[in-house]
DNA sequence: AGTACCACCTGACGGC
DNA sequence: TGCCGTCAGGTGGTAC
C-alpha cells in the first residue's frame, strides 16, 4: 500500500541507487502500466538518458531526465522498486526494467497492475491535470487549517481525498485518526480549532515516524511504536491504548479500523 | 462539493 | 481436492 511515507522511501532508494546512471535499455514486462505511452516510445525516449534528480508529490514519484523530460512513477497498491545486478535476481512481477550502463538494473515491480509509469514534459502540468492537492508533508499548519475551513463531510474521506491533500491512503489515515482520537466519520465541520490542530500534528507525526522507521519495506508494523494502531490493525485485536476491541466500519468505500472507545463518534 | 458504487487487477483465504 | 465468492486498496469514472 504505497502511500506518502512508502513512496518517500522509494524516492530515497532510487536516489541512492539509480541516479546519474546511463540507461542502455528498458524491458517492458507489462504494457498495462504504460497508459499514455508505449513500450517503444518509452524505450526510444530513455535510451542513452539518465535520471538526474527526483521529486515526490503525494504518492507520485517523478524523476527528471538529463534532457529535461520527466519519468512519472505511481505504485498503485502493490508497486515497489528493486535495484539489482544479476538478472537471476529479477523479481517476479517485474513490469518495467531499466538496464544501466554499469550492468545494474532497476525493476518497477507490481503484482496487481494498478500502478502507472509515464513520460511527461512538465511536472506542474502533470499535477494540475490530476488536480492533486498539496503534498501532505509540504503543507504548513496555517495552510492545512485554511483548506479545512472549506471542507465538509467525513474526516477520513477528507484525509484520503488526493484532491484535498496528496499522499494519505486508507492505512495511514486510520493511524492519524487513532492518534488524533477522532472517529473516522466525524464531520469536518464539527471539528473545533484545537481538534484541527491536533489532526495536523498527528498527520505530520505519523507520516514522519513511518518515514523514519522505514516505510515501504516489509515488517514496518514491527518497527513502529507499540502504541501505534498499525501493529494492531486487524479485526478483534486489542487497542494498544485502552485494551478495548479494534472494530471496523466502511467509510468512503474502504474498511476503516478504529477503537470505538478511544475514538468516539462526535456529532 | 461530497458520497456511493463500479471497474481495474491478482492472490490469499474460507466455505462447501 | 478444487471451485467460488470475497477481500485487499489506489484511482478514476459515473450517477445522484
> Is residue A146 packed enough to be buried (19+ CB in 10 Å), middle (13-18) or exposed (0-12)?
exposed
Q: In this structure, is the CB of residue A160 within 7 Å of any atom belonging to strand C?
A: yes
Q: Which nucleotide is nearest to A188 (CA to C1')?
A: B2
Whether A2 is catalytic is: yes
In this complex, the answer to whether residue A72 has its CB under 7 A from any atom of chain C, a nucleic strand, is no
Confidence of residue A210 (pLDDT cuts 50, 70, 90): very high
Q: Which H or E element spans position A245?
A: none
Tens digits of per-residue pLDDT, A139-149? 999 999 999 99
pLDDT-above-70 percentage for chain A: 99
Report pLDDT digits (tens) over A28-70. 999 889 988 899 999 999 999 999 999 999 999 999 999 999 9
Instruction: Give me the percent of chain A exceeding a pLDDT of 90.
Output: 82
Q: What is the pTM of this model?
A: 0.95
Write down the mean pLDDT value for chain A: 93
C-alpha distances (whole Å) from A124 to each of A35, A57, A70, A98, A118 are 19, 11, 11, 25, 15
How confident is the model over A70-128, as pLDDT tens digits? 999 999 989 999 999 999 999 989 999 999 999 999 999 998 888 999 999 999 999 99
83-122 on A, CB < 7 Å from strand C: 112, 114
pLDDT at A266 over 80: no
Q: Mark whether A240 is an active-site residue.
A: no
Amino acid at each position: 500500500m504505497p502511500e506518502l511515507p512508502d513512496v518517500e522511501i522509494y524516492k530515497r532508494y532510487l536516489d541512492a541507487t539509480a541516479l546519474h546512471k546511463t540507461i542502455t535499455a528498458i524491458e517492458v514486462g507489462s504494457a498495462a502500466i504504460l497508459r499514455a505511452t508505449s513500450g517503444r516510445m518509452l524505450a526510444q525516449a530513455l535510451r542513452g538518458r539518465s535520471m538526474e534528480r527526483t521529486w515526490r508529490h503525494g504518492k507520485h514519484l517523478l524523476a527528471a531526465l538529463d534532457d529535461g523530460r520527466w519519468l512519472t512513477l505511481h505504485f498503485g497498491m502493490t508497486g515497489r522498486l528493486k535495484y539489482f545486478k544479476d538478472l537471476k535476481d529479477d523479481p517476479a512481477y517485474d513490469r518495467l526494467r531499466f538496464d544501466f550502463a554499469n550492468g545494474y538494473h532497476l525493476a518497477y515491480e507490481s503484482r496487481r497492475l494498478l500502478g502507472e509509469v509515464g513520460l511527461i514534459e512538465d511536472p506542474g502540468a502533470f499535477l494540475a491535470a490530476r488536480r492533486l492537492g498539496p503534498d501532505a508533508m509540504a503543507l504548513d499548519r496555517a495552510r492545512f487549517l485554511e483548506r479545512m475551513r472549506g471542507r465538509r463531510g467525513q474526516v477520513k474521506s477528507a484525509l484520503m481525498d488526493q484532491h484535498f491533500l496528496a499522499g494519505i491512503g486508507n492505512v495511514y489515515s486510520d493511524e492519524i485518526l487513532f492518534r488524533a482520537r477522532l472517529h473516522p466519520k466525524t464531520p469536518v465541520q464539527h471539528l473545533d480549532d484545537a481538534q484541527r490542530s491536533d489532526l495536523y500534528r498527528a498527520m505530520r507525526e505519523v507520516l514522519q515516524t513511518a518515514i523514519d522507521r522505514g516505510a515501504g519495506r516489509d515488517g514496518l508494523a514491527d518497527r513502529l511504536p507499540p502504541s501505534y494502531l498499525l501493529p494492531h490493525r486487524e479485526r478483534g485485536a486489542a487497542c494498544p491504548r485502552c485494551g478495548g476491541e479494534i472494530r471496523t466500519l466502511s467509510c468512503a468505500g474502504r474498511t476503516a479500523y478504529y477503537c470505538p472507545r478511544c475514538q468516539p463518534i462526535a456529532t
